[in-house]
Amino acid sequence: MSSFNRRDFIRVTGLGAATAATGLPSLVSKANAANPKNVVIIGGGFAGATTAKYLVEWASAEGLSIKVTLIDRNATYASPILSNLVLVGKLPETSLNFTYAALTGVSFVQAEVSDIDTVLKQVTAGGNTYAYDRLIVAPGIDFLDTNGLGAPIIGLREAIDSRTIIPAWKGGTDVTALKQQLTGIPSGTGVFILSIPKAPYRCPPGPYERACVVADWLNQNRPGAKVIVLDANADITAEKHTFSTAFSAMGVTYIPNAHLSSVSYANNQWTVIASTGNYVANVLNVLPRQRAGLLLDKIPGILNASLFADVHALTYESTQIPGVHVIGDAQATPQPKAGHVGNGEGKVCADAILKMIRTNSQDTAQYIANVGESRIPAVVTNSACYSPIKASTAATASYLTVGFRADQSNGWVPTKISASLGEAPSPTGDNWKDMFDWAENLFYDTFNVTRNVG
């Protein structure tokens, strides 16, 4: 565990102020304002909404003429961040729902995307066609029904489709539905099983956080009921000291290298068959293995063998499809898949697109050639998050942060900045309070909305 302390964390993440812009300098003269560029963004989560916001703000400040269209199937975005507090009744679901009305200058379209034509450079959504000069895709994640060994999990797809198993890993109404299942667990003999997928998955600390707050809720409301964690990974993937200590204190049973092979429901209980044994539960919360959002299947050739999109971290342009940028959980860089990272990637992408417009660059290679690689500053992003540990009496939280740097010396591959890696020495009440400040800053920096969730 790092000696990183709370003051270090606040300094690195900018707690108490909106996250700073990338601050990259202008390299060439501004483009002709009479020649507007069309930028279409698909996906309005932390990555997509941040990109839309900063494209408009920075273009206006620099005198660039662009039109930004943000397309999402939903009118609101349900934040997964803090959603485990909805699960245990500490926050209402509505407090984490965000619209796009406050993103001034962004044209929002609520529609399902039916086609993406990267040759004609146009997106079809809701029966209308939107031409683009640059396309940004931020589709988040979708689920696979195979285990960490690549074998099918029998019964999982059917259970998710029938909503008897609810992953609740995308926020919103699914979290409330899982909460209803949780409240049905009996005292004494009740069991909640949480299955964690093989990495990479959205929000590395998130599953362990969920195990903690659910165990805390059961201890308070269903005495004798217990939590079992079946982890497909060889060990806890984030904040090992914090979560292993909390599991021991709360009576959570943690089982690593647990690869599910089948799930079935009969006589009001679940039976789980895994590589580590057989288990029964009243509530089974399977977090499936994850891949880039299915939307990217509409762009043939953009996904790698792991079903994520390879990108150039200087611009987040696809390494396979010029003119298309992929940000957020769907891209394949070494950075964690999380909302705070997506917010940072959105700013990097927005800044890069404006520079590509100014330099009349058609792709990343041309941008580098036009500017000169030695003149391009490093790209730095930060992954920071808080995790509630106890949400009942004497509520506590922990935090984790790590920075990434991509530059000419490392081939523009985001590489951990060792000095930035840190976690809370232990969960505290002060961290619980700061968690809401961190989330509030992130919400405002992305959606221009203040919620006062704490």
Q: Six-digit token pair at 134? A: 């640059």
Q: Report how far Cα 291 is from the mean position of its chain's Cα atoms.
A: 12
Question: Would you state the pLDDT for residue 451?
Answer: 87
Closest by Cα among 175, 13, 18 to 90 = 175
Question: Would you state the pLDDT for residue 23?
Answer: 41
Q: Report how far Cα 10 is from the mean position of its chain's Cα atoms.
A: 21
Burial, 268: exposed, middle or buried (Cβ in 10 Å; 0-12, 13-18, 19+)? exposed
pLDDT tens per residue, the chain (454 residues)?
344 443 444 444 443 223 333 444 444 344 445 578 999 999 999 999 999 999 999 999 999 999 999 999 999 999 999 999 999 999 999 999 999 999 999 999 999 999 999 999 999 999 999 999 999 999 999 999 999 999 999 999 999 999 999 999 999 999 999 999 999 999 999 999 999 999 999 999 999 999 999 999 999 999 999 999 999 999 999 999 999 999 999 999 999 999 999 999 999 999 999 999 999 999 999 999 999 999 999 999 999 999 999 999 999 999 999 999 999 999 999 999 999 999 999 999 999 999 999 999 999 999 999 999 999 999 999 999 999 999 999 999 999 999 999 999 999 999 999 999 999 999 999 999 999 999 999 999 999 999 888 7
Q: Six-digit token pair at 233? A: 């990974």
CATH class of 6-140+293-447: alpha beta
Helix (H, G, I), strand (E, B) or coil at 158: helix
Strand order in the sheet with 122-125: 113-117, 122-125, 128-131
Q: Report how far Cα 12 is from the mean position of its chain's Cα atoms.
A: 19
Closest by Cα among 379, 356, 313 to 134 = 356
Q: Position of tokens 């990267």?
A: 118
Question: Would you state the pLDDT for residue 374?
Answer: 94
Closest by Cα among 354, 327, 432, 449 to 84 = 432
Contacts of residue 193, Cβ cutoff 8 Å, sequence gap at least 6? 227, 228, 229, 230, 270, 272, 279, 281, 283, 284, 285
The model's pTM is 0.93
Question: Would you state the pLDDT for residue 454?
Answer: 78
Question: Would you state the pLDDT for residue 141?
Answer: 98
Contacts of residue 312, Cβ cutoff 8 Å, sequence gap at least 6? 319, 364, 412
CB 332 within 8 A of CB 306: yes
| Domains in the chain: boundaries | 6-140+293-447, 156-290
Q: Judge if 6-140+293-447 and 156-290 fold alike in CATH terms.
A: yes
Contacts of residue 270, Cβ cutoff 8 Å, sequence gap at least 6? 193, 263, 264, 280, 281, 282, 283, 284
Distances, alpha carbon 311 to alpha carbons 68, 134, 413, in Å: 21, 15, 9
Relative to beta strand 141-143, strand 290-292 is antiparallel
Rounded to 5 degrees, φ, ψ at 442 are -65, -40
What's the chain's Rg over C-alpha atoms? 22
Report the distance separating Cα 373 and Cα 27, nearest Å.
12
Fold of 156-290: FAD/NAD(P)-binding domain (3.50.50)
The DSSP result for 101-139, as a single string, is: TTSTTEEEEE--EEEEETTTTEEEETTEEEE-SEEEE--
Question: Would you state the pLDDT for residue 13?
Answer: 47
- Phi-psi bin for 427: left (phi > 0), alpha (psi -120 to 50), beta? beta
Distances, alpha carbon 401 to alpha carbons 159, 384, 385, in Å: 35, 4, 7
Question: Would you state the pLDDT for residue 453?
Answer: 87
Report the distance separating Cα 17 and Cα 19, nearest Å.
6
